[in-house]
């Protein structure tokens, strides 16, 4: 069985977190997009080509890092104009924002963008049809987790199931975030806050459970999660919200490296998403 893994990252600011957005004034010293370079360097160490889902609102802050990623063979895909869920936009607003952000990023870096991931994983069948019409080759917004309140639903019944992570239909691909059966439901093992916040011995057990029996894996993270840094203080944030922003950041890169080594040990190869769709 050919096994494949996709290492991705959503390139955005800490201020794009739903906990901070619209609640705090932006301060560049807390944005942490610059931590993207640490992720790129880790992938480079293992000769892995990743997929970066980039917000237009972040590119001016880290142009040099994005160019560094491109020069090292990593793929740039689109995360949107600002961190607004497509489910909060009407069709005209969504189309305009996607067109503008795609064009700006493509022109800035002289690239062609083929992939999309929705902020908050907020996607549905209607928005999928729009990004198809706009020329995208694939989407990676299918999270399918009941506690992710802002995520949407995609009907994959008429798609061809290529493996546990990828489904295709008429030349368009959907890359779903990885999850495993746990307790009475499912637990995402795909990265983000799930790997960062769940106690590591618990998450490691479920990661191994998934990887040992799966034929594909999708990982994602955010730059602010990758290194320890000061969390903005605000009286509107309660202690749980502050912990969400702080916990697990010091060791997260080490966890990702452990994950990469374990995937390799279990025979996984790595690809960026566009290359997979093109093969």
151 pLDDT tier (thresholds 50, 70, 90) = confident
Q: Which tens digits make up the pLDDT trace of 255-274?
A: 999 999 999 999 999 999 99
Arithmetic mean of pLDDT, 218-230: 93
* Strand, helix or coil for residue 17: coil
* Nearest of 83, 53, 13, 39 to residue 177 by alpha carbon: 53
pLDDT of residue 161: 95
Arithmetic mean of pLDDT, 108-118: 98
Asked if 179 and 173 touch (Cβ cutoff 8 Å), the reply is no
pLDDT of residue 30: 78
pLDDT of residue 186: 85
**H-assigned helices in the chain:** 36-45, 56-59, 63-71, 91-109, 125-133, 192-197, 200-213, 239-246, 252-265, 273-278
> 15-24, 45-54, 80-89, 110-119: which range is least confident on average?
15-24
Q: Does position 171 have pLDDT exceeding 90, yes or no?
A: yes
pLDDT of residue 96: 97
* Strand, helix or coil for residue 10: strand
| Topology adopted by domain 3-278 | TIM Barrel (3.20.20)
pLDDT of residue 147: 65
Average model confidence (pLDDT) across the chain: 92
Element (H, E) at 31: none
Alpha-carbon gap, residue 87 to 100, rounded angstroms: 18
Query: Which comes out higher in pLDDT, residue 116 or 16?
Result: 116
pLDDT of residue 148: 66
Q: Does position 200 have pLDDT exceeding 90, yes or no?
A: yes
Other CB atoms closer than 10 Å to residue 169's CB: what's the count? 13
Residue 92, C-beta contacts closer than 8 angstroms, at least 6 positions apart = none
Tell me which DSSP letter residue 51 carries.
E
Q: Which tens digits make up the pLDDT trace of 57-88?
A: 999 999 999 999 999 999 999 999 999 999 99
* Nearest of 225, 276, 274 to residue 254 by alpha carbon: 225
What percentage of the chain reaches a pLDDT higher than 70? 97
Alpha-carbon gap, residue 264 to 256, rounded angstroms: 12
Alpha-carbon gap, residue 64 to 69, rounded angstroms: 9
């Amino acid at each position: 069985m050919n096994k494949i893994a996709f290492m991705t990252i959503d390139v955005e600011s800490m201020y794009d977190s739903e906990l901070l957005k619209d609640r705090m004034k932006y301060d560049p010293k807390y944005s942490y997009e610059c931590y993207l370079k640490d992720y790129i360097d880790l992938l480079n160490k293992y000769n892995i080509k990743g997929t970066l889902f980039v917000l237009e609102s972040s590119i001016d802050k880290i142009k040099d890092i994005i160019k560094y990623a491109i020069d090292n063979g990593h793929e740039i895909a689109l995360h949107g104009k600002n961190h607004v869920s497509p489910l909060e936009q009407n069709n005209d607003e969504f189309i305009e924002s996607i067109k503008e952000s795609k064009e700006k990023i493509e022109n800035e870096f002289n690239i062609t963008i083929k992939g999309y991931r929705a902020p908050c994983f907020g996607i549905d069948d209607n928005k999928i049809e729009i990004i198809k019409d706009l020329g995208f080759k694939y989407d990676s917004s299918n999270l399918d987790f009941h506690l992710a309140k802002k995520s949407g639903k995609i009907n994959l019944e008429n798609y061809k199931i290529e493996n546990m992570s990828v489904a295709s239909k008429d030349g368009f691909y959907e890359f779903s975030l990885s999850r495993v059966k746990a307790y009475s439901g499912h637990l995402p093992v795909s990265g983000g806050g799930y790997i960062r916040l769940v106690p590591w011995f618990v998450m490691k057990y479920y990661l191994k459970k998934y990887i040992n029996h799966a034929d594909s894996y999708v990982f994602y993270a955010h730059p602010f999660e990758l290194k320890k840094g000061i969390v903005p203080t605000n009286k509107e944030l309660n202690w749980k919200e502050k912990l969400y922003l702080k916990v697990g950041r010091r060791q997260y890169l080490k966890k990702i490296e452990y994950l990469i080594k374990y995937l390799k040990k279990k025979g996984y190869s790595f690809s960026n998403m566009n290359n997979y769709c093109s093969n």
